[in-house]
Structure formats: C-alpha cells, structure tokens
Structure 1
Amino acid sequence: MSSSASAASSQAATNNLEAFWMPYTANRQFKQNPRMFVGAKDMHYTTADGRQVLDGTAGLWCCNAGHGRPKIVEAVQNQVAEMDYAPAFQMGHPKAFELAARLTAMMPSPLDHVFFTNSGSESVDTALKIALGYQRSIGQGTRTRFIGRERGYHGTGFGGISVGGIVANRKQFGNMLNGVDHLPHTHDLSRNAFSRGEPKNGAEYAEELIRLVQLHDASTIAAVIVEPVAGSTGVLIPPVGYLKRLREICDQNGILLIFDEVITGFGRLGTPFAVDYFDVIPDMVTTAKGITSGVIPMGAVFCAKKIYDAFMDGPDHLIELFHGYTYSGHPIACAAALATLDTYEEEGLLTRAASLAQYWEDGLHSLKDCPNVIDIRNLGLIGAIELTPIDGAPTKRAFSAFLKAYDDGILIRTTGDIIALSPPLIISEAQIDELFGKLRTVLNAID
C-alpha cells in the first residue's frame, strides 16, 4: 500500500463514528447528525463548526469552576512532567496526603478520613463495601441489607444500580445485589408543584424508613444511601425536615447514613456540601465530579472517625481494608484537585451560588407560563423544568428541546421529560438571562 493510500485509510478509520459505543446516548440518532465539541473556555463550549454554546450543565454536573481554568491546567501539566504515576498499594506520594487533609478540613467532624476513587460510581461501591465491613468489624455481621430510594441515582456499578431506583438503569441487567429495598421518592407534584427551594410538604416520606426497619428488622440493615438532592432523575428537592428525620431514624436503629454528594458537593447549593446546607451529618459522603472540576477523573469517600477506627484492629502489618483501585489518589488527579480547591477558594466559588440563588430562582420560575411546563424546581444553582410527556412518546418532548437548545447555543440536560440545569459556578447574571431567554424561545418552539 502506498503512503498516500495508507494515510487515507488511517483518516477514514479515525473518522468512523461507528467504533465508539457512546454512553447514555441514542447512538443511531447521534451518528446520523453528530454534535461535536472541540474546545471549551470558562462558560462556553466551541462546536466543530465554530459556534459558541453556553454551558448550562457544567459539562455533566462536574465543571464547577468552568472550563480551561489556568491554575488547574498548569497544575496538571506540571505534575505530568514531575511524576506521572505512583502506586497506591503500600506506597504513597505527598499530594495524596495533602489533598486528603485539605478535603477533610472542609467537612464537619467526625468526617475526618477520605478514601480516593476515580468516579462517583466507584465512590458509591466503595461506601457500600465499607459499610458492610464496618458492621462486621463491630460485631454486627447480620447487617447486610441496604436501603436506597426510588428514582435515586448512585452511578452505574452493580452496587450503585442496586441501591439506585431509576428503572431504565436496572431493567436490562437482571439480578443485582441481594437484600436491597427502597424508600419512596419525595416528588409530590400534587402538593409541591412550582415550589421555590425546599418543598413544604413531604417530610413524612422519611417515616417509610421505620416501616422498612419493621419489615426487615434493624439487625439486618447496614446502611441507608440517598442523594440529598436527587439530581440525575430530574432535580428532586428534599422536603423541609426530611433529611433530619432520616438521620434520627438511622441513629435510633444503628444504621449508617450515606449521602451521595457527587452532584451537590463542591459549591452547587451555595455551601461547600449539602451536609452544610441541610445541617445533617451522615456517616459517609460520596463525592466525585466537582472535586477536580471535571478536568481529571477522581472521586472520594468521606468516612466518620468511628468507621475508620473500627478497621484499625489486629496486627499493624496486615491490610485492614481489602479494597482499592490502581488509580486511587493518582498524582495527576491529586494535582488537579488541589488546584481546583485553590481556584474555589481564591474566587469564593464554594459559596458563590448563595449570592446568585435568588436571581437564578426568579429567572427559572419566569418560565412557568411556557407551553407544556407542569413543574419548576430549584435549589442553589440547580434547576429543573418538568414537561408534559407526549402521549405514546415519553421523553421525546424534552429531547426535542435539547436538540433545539444546542442549535440555539445553549447546553441543557434532559432526563425523561425533565430539563435539568446546573451551570458552572462562575456564571454571571447576564449569562443567566441569556440561558433562560434562549430556553424560553426553545420551549415556545417545540411541540
């Protein structure tokens, strides 16, 4: 084969969209009319045809500091040159310990230990395994059951989809973890439609945990896991008092409480974590996404001191927890995370959403009069617009809105017939106006 023919063959291969099986994507639809981003800076993506698209979703709930932030970029570049990888098993490197210390300093006591992962899915499976190991370590080995929640999203590992409650994430895969039950979700459209902030009705949904304790017996339940704000299912805000009541019931029955803060962590609600916003301290917190502002994959599980201490028994030369990942505390991820924390601190981003929350809320709820809108929900810099489904074609109306929004220069996210919004924390009031102005045009245009 000639060099020119070889080059042509190589070009054809790299331009073949079929090779990549895309995640959570309508692959056939996308490959007929691809939507390609080729650059990103601050609040905007650049498309392959040179258009600017305002990021209304922080990438995928993750780019909290925006895109292409200089300090994070420089930290990654420097770390690659200094040391690309260090093993995490029986070895360490300084940045992992520095990062762990800085992260735990952000959390209220007793959440003073952190275990590094590479994603939210890994964080959830890690927390579930730690919960089982903890109960066995304290002589409660019968506690093997987990309680999740309907419409909950906890990643895509088998543990995560087992405790999760989004049907589409579960139905294709058959058997999952045994011994899992679910609380009802808190979405109550009849009583709470168009609530601003935390809904007033629904705290009583937490009482269902008592029923599950009575059904299974507390001695069989290891942990309850919930998202403080359920994000991927369409932004379900907890009713006033709901999370505090869950904490009380768990305490009364010796059950660990796990908050999945992969979405709410790192400033999304106007506080560093939902733990701070709701003033409820769980036994573990799972995080990812905003920990590096989406620059490098990373996650972390915060654990209470009592959990860590329960494992620190037996001869000190033996491994206490037989769990971990090749890339736990990866040097480049740690460098990115440290620079991300610096950026958050220097620009006040972990609390900036609080100053924008009212402006965001007013702009979002101004869309109440648009066609097909049946609910609007918000908290911090998160929002959702729920649409009436098309008879016989669920999800199609919101997906049509997603496609038109992209053409009109804004990036939104849809789940079912719900539009979800979670912009980078650097968004300005003028950009909030632009986002909702264009979204009004979109909603008025779709059938």
Structure 2
Amino acid sequence: MSSKPQANSDAKLDAYWMPFTANRQFKQAPRLITGADGMYFTDDKGRQVLDGIAGLWCVNAGHNRPRIVEAIQKQAAELDFAPPFQMAHPKAFELAERLVELTPAGLNKAFFTNSGSEAVETALKMAIAYHRVRGEGARTRLIGRERGYHGVNFGGISVGGMVGNRKMFGTMLSGVDHIRHTHDPARNAFSQGQPAYGAEFANDLENLIALHDASTIAAVIVEPIAGSTGVLIPPQGYLQRLREICDKHAILLIFDEVITGFGRTGNPFAAQTFGVTPDLMTVAKGLTNGCVPMGAVFAKQFIHDAFMQGPEHLIEFFHGYTYSAHPLACAAALGTLDTYAEDGLLTRASEMQGYFAEALHSLKGEPNVIDIRNMGLVGGCELAPLPGEPGKRAFSIFLDCWEKGVLVRTTGDTIALSPPLIIEKQHIDHIIDTVRGALKRAA
C-alpha cells in the first residue's frame, strides 16, 4: 500500500525528507511559508502569521531588512565565491574585526563556519588540539551537560544531553561525560530571570574531575541559557562557579551562544549579561539574521597563539570548511551588524524584557501550566504532559496558535518564545493572548 501523502495536490511533498519534523503529520496538513516581512510570515493561503520565535531563534532583526538584502544582492554580483584555504577576501577580515569589537574582552580571534553545529565541532576540536600543541595531549575528555543542545553532528550530540537527539546514533564519541542540568522546579518554578537556587549544581564538575582527573579533561561546554531543551535559565552564581572550577584545573570553558548571541539577553552576548567570559564561544543564527548560513567560534588570544609555532609555511590548524567565510555570508553578516547598530537591537531586549516577562508570567494559572521561565526576550512555558503521550499537549498548542496566526515553538511539553528584537508591546500582547486562548481550548 502506498505511503505517499494524498493531501495538498497543489504541491508535491513526497521527495523532501524534512528535518526535526513529524513528516507524516506535516504532509497531511502542510504549513507552507511563502513570504516574510518585519514581524510577520505569509503562508501559502496569504495569511499573515506573527513570528513569535524569530524564525528559528535566528531572525533577530526581523524579516526582509533592506541593508541585509542589498548587501547579499550586491555581493552575489561582485564576488560569488573565494577559496578559504590559503586564500581570502576582504570582507572576511572586515567581519572578524567588527565582531571582536562586540565580544567580551579577550575573545579576539574569529574562526568562521557555516552553522552552529559546525561551530561546536570546531570549538571541540580546537580545545583538544590546543592542549596537544602545548604538550598536554592526554587532555582529550569533553564534559557536556544533561539536556544540553549543541547541534547535530557527532561531537555536538556526544556532549549534548537531549535523549531524542542521541538514542538512534550509537555510542557517540568516547571520553565524554556530563554534569547535571539546572532545572529545579521544586525550588525555582515561575522564577523571573535567574533562579535563586542551584549554583551548587556546578559542583558536579568537581566530582567528574575527581573521577577522571583534570589531566584528562580538555573542555567543558554549556549553553548560558539552555534553549532547545525548554529555556532553562542558569541559577544565580552557577556560571561563575563553573568558570572558577575550570580556571582552577586549567580546563577550557566553552559557551554555546548559538541561540543567546546577538542581543537575545539584552547584551550582544549572554556572557556579558551574566558577567562570565568563556575561553571559546560559538555563535551562528543571529550572526546573519538567518539570511545566509554562517557560524563562528571566538577564541581567546592564548588559544590562537598556542598554534602559531613551527615553520611558517605549514598549516597550524588542520580544520576548516569549503564555505568558511563565504562572501555572501560575510556580506549578510556585515549588513546584519549595520542593522543591529542602526536600530539599537543588541540591547533592545533589556528595554522590552520587563513587559515581556510580565505578559509571559500572566499565563501562570492557565490550564496545565506548571512553570514559566524567562530572560531578556526568550521565554518558556512548561505544560503538564498528557499521561503516556509526552509532547502531544504542547504540539496541540503549536498547531492551534498556527491556525490563529501566531508561530510558536515547542520542545517536549514546553512552549518556547524568542521573538525578533524589533517586537513591540502589541505584538507581545497578541502572542500571549493567542497562547492563552490555545491553553484554554486544550484544557
């Protein structure tokens, strides 16, 4: 019997195997986007859909921004590609200089990739290779965190801690361990901003160091805010404690800021919001406003300099991608930085977060809401799961909101919101009122 979808005869849907999607459900009732502008998508029926998740945590400046569009168009006509190995083009250097002006002090070297997943792989390899070139080649172990998301390549899912992303793919990388996640609803439910309790979870790292010995550990990688698992905000003092432990044992600290980078928390980077500077930091998404795939790793000077030895004609770091610092991506990123600067978007979340928090937390008391978490312009509303059907309740809310003209995201039974930074109060009201209605209808 044929398994091909019968719905929507106007579009051929069978050939495309969609990522992170319930393919069978989607192809029975497709949600097709055909246009976007400002805060809104347009679907194939001509409806306007308010974007409550910045595309996929990435369209921080809103859609169809003129500077970015113009930069991409101009670059395509001027220089479509330049080899990134033993060659370069001017915009790669210009972009790197512009970016390190925004990063926390000390993170002054930029290595370009094509995605957040690739940025994570790069940072992990950089950390292991760093210890090797300085004579501590036994430091190969990587420490991640339960419920962490670091992309979908083998390194990322190895240090990551989301079971659904790991269970089908074998034994992962060897020599990886995990500290606990920080979600503690018994003590921190409905916290606004950083929860008061849980800094002691960072001491798990000391336990793993005692088990494995610091001389075997290369790096620890965490998201400052764990986004894809449901918006877990770090407890007060937690990131500071991780930094202290890493410093004590000469372990590199990596922040995955693929989601939190470029204004999401009210500063250019969450490291600045929380006052903790890592040794390596990964970014993507908001780097180009989602317009052209691009990622980057920022490294401290001492990491870069450790590789700059030996004969000058030899490659120092055997790593990179065909499309590293692609001209169109660099142009898009430069146009994005101009847009952020002109509109003050890298700090706008700090202006809007109070209104956003109040609106989001007004959902407390609605049917099946068991926790709400927020920081800057990112929030999570956790729902009680349906017995025996985890994720189904939140997915029904997602579908309901889509039908009512608002796009939200779900992960497990958490509704996640991360709207474009251009959002106004009326947009916040519309999003929250739509979610509220969906919660009531699903009760």
TM-score normalised by length of structure 2: 0.98
Q: Which amino acid letter does the alignment assign opposite residue 438 of structure 1? A: T
Cα 1:342–1:238, aligned 2, differ >3 Å: closer, same or farther? same
Asked if 1:137 corresponds to 2:133, the answer is yes
Q: Which amino acid letter does the alignment assign opposite residue 315 of structure 1? A: P
Secondary structure of the corresponding residue to residue 115 of structure 1: strand
Secondary structure of the corresponding residue to residue 347 of structure 2: helix
Q: 2:29 aligns with which of 33, 38, 49?
A: 33
Q: Residue by residue, what CA displacement relative to the aligned partner does 1:284-327 show, whole Å, maximum 9, x if unpaired?
A: 00000000000000000000000000000000010000000000
Q: Counterparts of 1:169 and 1:424 in 2: how far apart (Å)?
A: 27
Q: 2:54 maps to which residue? A: 58
Secondary structure of the corresponding residue to residue 299 of structure 2: strand
> Superposed, which structure 2 residues align to 1:245-284 within 5 Å?
245-284=241-280
The CA deviation at 1:227 is 0.1
Q: Residue by residue, what CA displacement relative to the aligned partner does 1:75-108 show, whole Å, maximum 9, x if unpaired?
A: 0000000010000000010000000001011112
Q: 2:335 maps to which residue? A: 339
Q: 1:45 maps to which residue? A: 41
Q: Which amino acid letter does the alignment assign opposite residue 306 of structure 2? A: A
Q: 2:350 maps to which residue? A: 354
The CA deviation at 1:127 is 0.2
Q: Which amino acid letter does the alignment assign opposite residue 89 of structure 2? A: H
Q: 1:121 maps to which residue? A: 117
Q: Counterparts of 1:99 and 1:205 in 2: how far apart (Å)?
A: 37
Secondary structure of the corresponding residue to residue 306 of structure 2: helix
Q: 1:5 maps to which residue? A: none
Q: 1:212 maps to which residue? A: 208
The CA deviation at 1:14 is 9.3
The CA deviation at 1:439 is 1.1
Asked if 1:68 corresponds to 2:51, the answer is no
Q: 1:403 maps to which residue? A: 399
Q: Which amino acid letter does the alignment assign opposite residue 159 of structure 2? A: V
Structure 2, unaligned runs of 5 or more: 1-7
Q: 1:387 aligns with which of 359, 383, 386?
A: 383
Asked if 1:290 corresponds to 2:297, the answer is no
Q: Which amino acid letter does the alignment assign opposite residue 206 of structure 2? A: I
Q: Which amino acid letter does the alignment assign opposite residue 396 of structure 1? A: K
Q: Residue by residue, what CA displacement relative to the aligned partner does 1:261-280 show, whole Å, maximum 9, x if unpaired?
A: 00000000000001110110
Structure 1, unaligned runs of 5 or more: 1-11
Q: 1:86 maps to which residue? A: 82
Q: 1:154 maps to which residue? A: 150
Q: Counterparts of 1:299 and 1:88 in 2: how far apart (Å)?
A: 15
The CA deviation at 1:15 is 3.1
Q: Counterparts of 1:248 and 1:62 in 2: how far apart (Å)?
A: 31
Q: Counterparts of 1:14 and 1:129 in 2: how far apart (Å)?
A: 46
The CA deviation at 1:234 is 0.2
Q: Counterparts of 1:177 and 1:418 in 2: how far apart (Å)?
A: 29
Q: 2:296 maps to which residue? A: 300
The CA RMSD over aligned residues, in Å, is 1.0
- The 4+ residue runs of structure 1 with deviation greater than 4 A are none
Q: Residue by residue, what CA displacement relative to the aligned partner does 1:145-201 show, whole Å, maximum 9, x if unpaired?
A: 000000000000000000000000000001210000000000001000000000000
Secondary structure of the corresponding residue to residue 362 of structure 2: helix
Q: 1:425 maps to which residue? A: 421
Q: 1:364 maps to which residue? A: 360
Asked if 1:24 corresponds to 2:5, the answer is no
Q: Counterparts of 2:358 and 2:103 in 1: how far apart (Å)?
A: 31
Q: Counterparts of 2:95 and 2:101 in 1: how far apart (Å)?
A: 10
The CA deviation at 1:438 is 1.1
Q: Counterparts of 2:11 and 2:391 in 1: how far apart (Å)?
A: 30
Q: 2:159 maps to which residue? A: 163
Q: Counterparts of 1:263 and 1:361 in 2: how far apart (Å)?
A: 19
The CA deviation at 1:239 is 0.1
> Superposed, which structure 2 residues align to 1:186-265 within 5 Å?
186-265=182-261
> Superposed, which structure 2 residues align to 1:300-339 within 5 Å?
300-339=296-335
The CA deviation at 1:13 is 11
Identity of aligned residues (%): 65
Q: 1:112 maps to which residue? A: 108
Q: Counterparts of 2:102 and 2:260 in 1: how far apart (Å)?
A: 14
Q: Counterparts of 1:439 and 1:391 in 2: how far apart (Å)?
A: 22
Q: Counterparts of 1:211 and 1:105 in 2: how far apart (Å)?
A: 37
Q: Residue by residue, what CA displacement relative to the aligned partner does 1:188-239 show, whole Å, maximum 9, x if unpaired?
A: 0100000000000000000110000000000000000000000000000000
Q: Which amino acid letter does the alignment assign opposite residue 137 of structure 1? A: V
Q: Counterparts of 1:304 and 1:314 in 2: how far apart (Å)?
A: 20
The CA deviation at 1:109 is 2.4
Q: Which amino acid letter does the alignment assign opposite residue 142 of structure 1? A: A
Q: Counterparts of 1:46 and 1:117 in 2: how far apart (Å)?
A: 30
Q: Counterparts of 2:178 and 2:399 in 1: how far apart (Å)?
A: 34
Q: 2:3 maps to which residue? A: none
Q: 1:181 aligns with which of 169, 177, 184?
A: 177
